[in-house]
Structure 1
């Protein structure tokens, strides 16, 4: 256990059960453990992590009283119930370990969706930090919505959706999180996720050079340290944190494909689509005549177990050029030389994994920070193509990335970003320095 001036540091990391949040929390925990800190993962019973993958950590389940289909009631009701139900159990646990281990100083690091942990830390007089697993751009974009609403600029008229938000250049009104939701629901959500008490510091799974201006803006606003420590998945290799079993046979299939010829399609671990959208995706893939790996999670197409909604003749034709799998080892696929493009929902983890391997993206965002990330990819970094979900548009977008000269140009820009990522995590790079600063900050609290 790390010590400084005779004080021992015990870190309690409060993890969200969502895949895109649990993964970076466990990656951060692995890094901090390598620096000598004692690690406890406090987690809900819903979608609990596997302690066998992390034998050096203490895992403490927080009873949440949630059904196995807890998300079916809606995301925010689920998060509110999760936070309300876990809170008393975290208080009880922290009081217990503080009494049993008086030689140690306890510090909390909590996922931004487990917002109750900040109030618990304040009640118990503990220092706490917040890990944010979205792009940094999400924070000011979300926080400006109440101001826009007060000024009568949100909800936004359809004719203005393509316009730049003056306070958020280069983001458009259509890129704002929650843009498709009722305003009352949006404002309620923002109240829930906005920190009531600023943490001692923010930890962001991003890279300084990718979002420097936004990070500067947040630092100026909150006046607390912000540690940009991404991409966490490249810092220390960790055991799989996936809640789904990956089909690794696709790697041997990739070995037989031409360099940069394959489009990898995965819309993440949470998103569900309807039959019409998924059918257009299938026809776009088929008509492009390019090899592909398409991840379709069982049950992710509403009303169907897997892909039985597709005509048998279409499936037969598609299987001549590609694979349809239930889940895939994404990081290994993106690092493979045969992969030339990634068709994604543009979640932040997927975005970081793709840019870290120099892979251009086809962007099909749905909500929250995905819209902002797609704008980064297509307009700022110019390594992505925004997709209209219509078979001819999809066919054209795939060919632009894999076949046309435009794809080669995007790939060259993506490779330059990949090289900068390598520099960031190397000795003396911005991420490497930020991680060192984070360790020093924890020791100083």
Structure 2
């Protein structure tokens, strides 16, 4: 009897933050749909719901985080803790998996797992890295050592608007850095990530190279490894939630009652937090814009508060159905909804790409890291949104919403984002850049 050939296996190691889990699981689905068998290694901390993905094999490893470490507001500390505590568990897990048949073709790790540099090679298996930022932010991060040596990363506010000679599209305040108690901790992270990238067998991006051809050329000069820009990931696969928070689906039925392109959708991501005054300024700015708004306020994201209890009494009721506030939302569906006309965003790359794919113009309120780079590209390079440059005040929010949603300037922004949406659609079609790059990536993996 003829035996069916076993599917080639890919082992993926997901990093346990929402903005990293989403693209890794989307990537896993892309490979599964192309005939690969998928094994996903994940930590106990922020573990995904495996029941949503019965076609994958999930393997959990202990991460050793204490309760206080897991709730540390300094994300850089958590990154380092995970990288130190997961070395042995990941090594043991990989050793066991590689003893099974069929042997995995390669391991794909998130770039934040910098400890895997050298470790996978010891097991004789190629390591490909998933970088969850776009090429523009990647180039900015790649110049970290120069930026640090020249003192750009510690410039005072008075010099924040100066241009960066090595990155002409950016200002000093746009440099992709993270707030951490110890700047050396951020340096250690960047050095580790860059070293692990350069020693990898290749780098996968959830990006569209047609939108960033100049940045791709720059990146290739810095990194002597194979690049595969195959985004947008979420356009390859049907929506399967790997959300760490429960999504409030009632926001979709609320959107159904709104007129087309009338709603401003506001969400500042899965990590960043704001103080009470900023929260209230955003609240009044959205209210005073007179546009209907759907606002995601993550529990615990307002310093010192459980949720939205600091809103003035009657704030929501007085809007008479013109607002909906939820704890978490099914963002791709919200952005695709006919009622959504604008996006107040933290400019994480997943959110930015989802906005581009639905041609939703943006209002940028970045917090840290690549968000700053993305915001500058959105506002000044691609010109598909507005940038909240100053201290967050209600009048600034109100004016930005009105400009985006009701002015001729907003209409011009809307026109400029349409060709980018078209590019995002064309790149996935036969002969498109992401289509070709995915074919090359699959052939590359099968050659190992």
Q: State if a TM-score over 0.5 links the two structures.
A: yes
Point out the more displaced range, 40-49 or 189-198: 189-198
Mapped pair 1:98 → 2:98: yes
How far 1:439 sits from its partner (Å)? 0.5
Partner of 1:237: 238
Partner of 1:383: 384
CA contact under 8 A between 2:11 and 2:104: conserved in structure 1?
Answer: no
Partner of 1:263: 264
Partner of 1:276: 277
Partner of 1:191: 191
Partner of 1:357: 358
Q: 1:319 to 1:180 in 2, by over 3 A?
A: farther
Q: 1:56 to 1:118 in 2, by over 3 A?
A: farther
Paired with 1:151 and 1:305, the residues of 2 have a C-alpha distance of 42
Matches within 5 A, 1:28-427: 28-68=27-67, 70-72=70-72, 74-101=74-101, 103-178=102-177, 183-196=183-196, 197-387=198-388, 388=390, 389-427=392-430
Paired with 1:99 and 1:28, the residues of 2 have a C-alpha distance of 24
CA contact under 8 A between 1:14 and 1:117: conserved in structure 2?
Answer: no
Paired with 1:137 and 1:195, the residues of 2 have a C-alpha distance of 19
Mapped pair 1:436 → 2:439: yes
> How many residues in Structure 1 have an aligned counterpart in Structure 2?
439
Paired with 1:154 and 1:299, the residues of 2 have a C-alpha distance of 29
In the TM superposition, what whole-angstrom CA distance separates every residue of 1:391-428 from its partner, at most 9, and x where no partner exists?
Answer: 00110000000011111111111112111111111221
Partner of 1:3: none
CA contact under 8 A between 1:207 and 1:229: conserved in structure 2?
Answer: yes
Paired with 1:253 and 1:352, the residues of 2 have a C-alpha distance of 24
Structure 1 gaps of 5+ residues are 1-5
Structure 2 gaps of 5+ residues are none
In the TM superposition, what whole-angstrom CA distance separates every residue of 1:41-63 from its partner, at most 9, and x where no partner exists?
Answer: 01100010111111111111110
How far 1:146 sits from its partner (Å)? 2.4
Q: Secondary structure at the match of 2:154?
A: coil
CA contact under 8 A between 2:7 and 2:35: conserved in structure 1?
Answer: no
How far 1:261 sits from its partner (Å)? 0.7
Paired with 1:278 and 1:374, the residues of 2 have a C-alpha distance of 20
Q: Secondary structure at the match of 2:163?
A: coil
Paired with 2:12 and 2:206, the residues of 1 have a C-alpha distance of 15
Q: 1:106 to 1:91 in 2, by over 3 A?
A: farther
Q: Secondary structure at the match of 2:325?
A: strand
How far 1:249 sits from its partner (Å)? 1.4
CA contact under 8 A between 2:80 and 2:189: conserved in structure 1?
Answer: no
Q: 1:84 to 1:229 in 2, by over 3 A?
A: same
How far 1:35 sits from its partner (Å)? 1.4
Paired with 1:127 and 1:185, the residues of 2 have a C-alpha distance of 28
How far 1:186 sits from its partner (Å)? 3.4
CA contact under 8 A between 1:175 and 1:375: conserved in structure 2?
Answer: yes
Q: Secondary structure at the match of 1:343?
A: strand
In the TM superposition, what whole-angstrom CA distance separates every residue of 1:266-320 from its partner, at most 9, and x where no partner exists?
Answer: 1111111110100000010111111000111122111111101111132322354
Q: 1:199 to 1:265 in 2, by over 3 A?
A: same
CA contact under 8 A between 1:98 and 1:106: conserved in structure 2?
Answer: no
Q: Secondary structure at the match of 1:394?
A: helix
CA contact under 8 A between 1:8 and 1:104: conserved in structure 2?
Answer: no
Q: 1:178 to 1:258 in 2, by over 3 A?
A: same
Q: Secondary structure at the match of 2:210?
A: coil
How far 1:84 sits from its partner (Å)? 1.7
How far 1:160 sits from its partner (Å)? 2.8
Paired with 2:192 and 2:352, the residues of 1 have a C-alpha distance of 26
Paired with 1:238 and 1:115, the residues of 2 have a C-alpha distance of 29
Paired with 1:53 and 1:18, the residues of 2 have a C-alpha distance of 17
Paired with 2:224 and 2:85, the residues of 1 have a C-alpha distance of 31
CA contact under 8 A between 2:14 and 2:109: conserved in structure 1?
Answer: yes
Point out the more displaced range, 200-209 or 84-93: 84-93
How far 1:183 sits from its partner (Å)? 4.3
How far 1:99 sits from its partner (Å)? 2.4
How far 1:199 sits from its partner (Å)? 0.7
CA contact under 8 A between 1:7 and 1:105: conserved in structure 2?
Answer: no
